[in-house]
Amino acid sequence: QVQLVESGGGLVQPGGSLRLSCTASGNTFTIKTMGWYRQAPGKERELVAAATSEGSIMYADSMKGRFTISRDNAKNTVYLQMNSLKPEDTADYYCNARTRWGSADFRFWGQGTQVTVSS
């Protein structure tokens, strides 16, 4: 069992920056991958970025060059630094963790944090 809590969302002007944080608790030793997804109103949830425990990183093409994911395994925390924000980045951002216990894989989700990019 893993619990995820996100923070750092809010209102920002176009071109501005935000830093999102997600802290995991519970059986954190089972976590293999932590990442970020987002969902805008009326649209399906999409991957933003993900990072493995070993340091591998993956970004969605539209986020490359603007967003940076980082992970602190000791603190069980993953961050998403968002720069050069655009109105189309407005969405609810969700933290995700993929775990493995034996041969079983599970995914856990945070409650989400809202990001609004507007002047």
Rounded Cα gap, residues 92 and 112, in angstroms:
6
Per-residue model confidence (pLDDT) at position 37: 97
Report pLDDT digits (tens) over 66-89: 999 999 989 999 999 999 999 999
Report pLDDT digits (tens) over 16-53: 999 999 999 999 999 999 999 999 999 999 999 999 98
Contact 6, 95 (CB under 8 A): yes
Higher pLDDT, 53 or 108: 108
Q: Residue 92: which residues within 8 A CB-CB, separation 6 or more?
A: 38, 39, 40, 112, 113, 114, 115
Higher pLDDT, 64 or 36: 36
Per-residue model confidence (pLDDT) at position 17: 98
pLDDT at 63 over 90: no
Rounded Cα gap, residues 107 and 7, in angstroms:
19
